[in-house]
Chain A
Amino acid sequence: QVQLQESGPGLVKPSGTLSLTCAVSSGSFSSRDWLTWVRQPPGTGLEWIGEISHSGKTYYNPSLKSRVTISMDKSKNHFSLSLRSVTAADTAVYHCTTHPAGEGQLVNWGQGTLVTVSS
């Protein structure tokens, strides 16, 4: 079973940068795998933020593309999410997820971490 753990500041000031890390259990991110970030504002639905492949290819939600970067450090099995110029609308639980290509989306989920944007 793949283990995913998100971490990062729980509070970010407006106009600042939200930075989160996802740790994937050792050896669990293979050449077929993708890592995706998903968020869920309190009491509302899910939003697909973007994804990165094992080779580093990235795709982003067009509504967030100008502010978001997903990157990875494969040697450490760490993946990062950076969201710039945040507002209160970016307050949400942020999840990292993984899946192998061709076997369904978002198969393995981290428990998620709540990030609040507030001064």
Chain B
Amino acid sequence: QTVVTQEPSLTVSPGGTVTLTCASSTGAVTSTYQSNWFQQIPGQAPRALIYSTTNKHSWTPARFSGSLLGDKAALTLSGVQPEDEAEYYCLVQYGDMWVFGGGTKLTVL
């Protein structure tokens, strides 16, 4: 069974920079895996932020960026705002199916 692993929790200060990562049990995450990133605020449906590793949606704030970092997919927040406190999930493609990571709870403190 394929497992996608994210940091369970991270803490960042307002205005700071933080990187969340997404690792695959099958090996290195490459652009082929078409990584997506989602933000979920408690009580709300998730919101798409990044697709195809690096692409932003029209509504994605400029401070969010996606990349590959070593053998993982990564989401970097630069100039973190208090409203960025949320759960973040990556979604990775494996052939005909997709697998979510376990999520990272980001605390802005």
Contact = CB atoms under 8 A, between A and B. Distances in A.
Given A45-B102, A63-B1, A106 B96 contact: no
B52 interface: yes
Interface in A39-53: 45-48
Contacts of A111: 45
A111 B47 CA distance: 11
B1 A105 contact: no
Contacts of B40: 46
Interface residues of A, number: 21
Contact of A105 (B45, B98, B102, B103): B98
Contacts of A107: 48, 57
B81 interface: no
B97 A106 contact: no
Given A46-B103, A47-B100, A62-B97, A104 B45 contact: no
Interface of A: 38, 45-48, 59-63, 95, 99, 103-107, 109-112
8 contacts: A38-B100, A45-B89, A46-B40, A46-B46, A48-B100, A60-B97, A104-B50, A104-B57
**What are the 5 tightest A-B residue pairs by CB atom distance, in nearest-first order?**
A104-B51, A109-B45, A46-B100, A59-B96, A48-B98
